[in-house]
């Protein structure tokens, strides 16, 4: 294959992969943040918080386990597409079956199965990108992955649009959107076989991987805390703040982050130090958190959150692309990406304890100060990475 054809094929894969990856967010954002809580409240009433907490906890364990398991299985078979297609069919079948559950514990069982099936899709899908994307285009890959949270948030707006669909029909609508996003990659990408291309590195690949894992974990803890408690923090400054205002703010920041992430990703692809933009983003995240610490009114807090949200969304998107440069073994990309995925679930176990310990006695500023320290520590780790496994090259 000549160079132009290879570049065109890579570009096609990048956009189709980004769409499919966004399909994963569309699968879980509306369900876990809106549709599932509504069903649990209707079933459990005053006990809904406890029940939802149990479902969320065991669902997170299933998601983590499924990502590692099915990534590893796709490594063993050397093929990604069959696992992605099977995960798509199974996860969406389980999703539209949720109305058949007549008790919270039946829903718990379905959610565990659904998380496993969804990660049968997502684990091999992430490894597929590691197989197909050249080392000097992982920055633009990460930038395009910023579409995922933005479209996930948009899907929540769509399925809850007044009079568009009833409770059961909303699940079918989510399933249709997910299928429309994932199928093009399954149908129109030619190659799904694993490649064992070696990655030349100047330091231990394992050392790079551990640093990148820890750096993402620290920023992800801060992101999870703001996602969960931003409304409560705003209401601590102004009790009249509406939840719709916070929802619009979330959506606006995620949308604005997409072009920024793509732009910064192109810069990373041209750089001999593609981890440097990550370090700068983590530094900016810490600065945004300090802004939240010092904010005395809702306007200052909003500006600080916009700064934090943009920097953090760009960081997490680009990190997903740069992770491909530091995977320890080409033969185990799916398994190793599953281990990296723990940085998305472990914060849900850490963040509540930080909040319970700090906020009741010292308030939100104390929590944000600790989170700022974590973000600055992440930045320091990444600044220490001199080079990753790629030479500077012109982005296509």
Predicted structure pTM score: 0.81
Q: Which residues contact 210 (CB under 8 A, 6 or more apart)?
A: none
Between CA 304 and CA 307 the distance in angstroms is 5
Angle between helices 167-188 and 3-30 (to 10 degrees): 170
pLDDT of residue 391: 42
Q: Which residues of 208-245 are buried (b: 16+ CB within 10 A; e: fewer)?
A: bbebbbebbbbbbbbbbbbbebbbebbeebeeebeeee
pLDDT of residue 199: 46
Reported confidence tier of residue 387, pLDDT bands at 50, 70, 90? low
Q: Which residues contact 224 (CB under 8 A, 6 or more apart)?
A: 347, 348, 351
pLDDT of residue 3: 59
Reported confidence tier of residue 97, pLDDT bands at 50, 70, 90? very high
Between CA 144 and CA 266 the distance in angstroms is 10
- Which domains can be identified in the chain, with CATH numbers? 3-188 (1.20.1250.20), 205-383 (1.20.1250.20)
pLDDT of residue 339: 86
Task: Tell me which range, 27-36, 224-233, 309-318, 381-390, is most confidently predicted by mean pLDDT.
Answer: 309-318
pLDDT of residue 2: 57
Angle between helices 333-340 and 205-237 (to 10 degrees): 30
* pLDDT, average across residues 105-110: 92
- pLDDT above 90 (res 28): no
């Amino acid at each position: 294959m000549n160079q132009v054809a290879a570049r065109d094929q890579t570009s096609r894969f990048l956009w189709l992969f980004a769409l499919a990856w966004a399909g994963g967010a569309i699968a879980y954002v509306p369900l876990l943040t809106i549709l599932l809580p509504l069903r649990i409240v209707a079933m459990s009433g005053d006990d809904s918080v406890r029940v939802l907490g149990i479902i969320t906890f065991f669902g997170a364990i299933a998601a983590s386990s499924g990502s590692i398991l099915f990534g590893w299985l796709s490594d063993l078979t050397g093929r990604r597409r069959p696992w992605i297609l099977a995960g798509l069919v199974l996860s969406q079948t389980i999703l539209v079956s949720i109305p058949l559950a007549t008790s919270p514990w039946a829903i718990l069982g379905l959610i565990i199965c659904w998380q496993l099936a969804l990660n049968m899709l997502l684990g091999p899908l992430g490894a597929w990108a590691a197989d197909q994307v050249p080392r000097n285009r992982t920055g633009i890959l990460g930038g395009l992955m910023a579409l995922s949270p933005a479209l996930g948030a948009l899907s929540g707006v769509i399925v809850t649009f007044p009079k568009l669909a009833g409770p059961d029909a909303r699940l079918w609508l989510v399933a249709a959107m997910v299928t429309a996003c994932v199928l093009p990659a399954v149908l129109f990408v030619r190659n799904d076989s694993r490649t064992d291309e070696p990655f030349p590195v100047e330091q231990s690949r394992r050392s790079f991987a551990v640093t990148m894992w820890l750096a993402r974990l620290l920023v992800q803890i801060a992101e999870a805390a703001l996602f969960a408690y931003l409304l409560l923090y705003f209401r601590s400054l102004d009790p009249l703040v509406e939840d719709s205002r916070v929802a619009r703010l979330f959506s606006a920041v995620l949308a604005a982050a997409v072009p920024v992430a793509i732009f910064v990703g192109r810069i990373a692809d041209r750089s001999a130090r593609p981890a440097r933009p990550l370090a700068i983003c983590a530094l900016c995240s810490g600065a945004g958190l300090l802004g939240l610490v010092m904010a005395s009114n809702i306007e200052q807090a909003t500006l600080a959150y916009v700064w934090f949200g943009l920097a953090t969304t760009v960081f997490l998107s680009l990190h997903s692309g740069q992770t491909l440069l530091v995977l320890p073994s080409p033969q185990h990309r799916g398994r190793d990406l599953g281990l990296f995925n723990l940085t998305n679930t472990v914060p849900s176990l850490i963040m509540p304890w930080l909040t319970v310990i700090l906020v009741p006695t010292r308030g939100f500023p104390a929590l944000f100060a600790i989170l700022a320290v974590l973000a600055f520590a992440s930045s320091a780790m990444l600044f220490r990475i001199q080079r990753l496994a790629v030479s500077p090259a012109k982005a296509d």
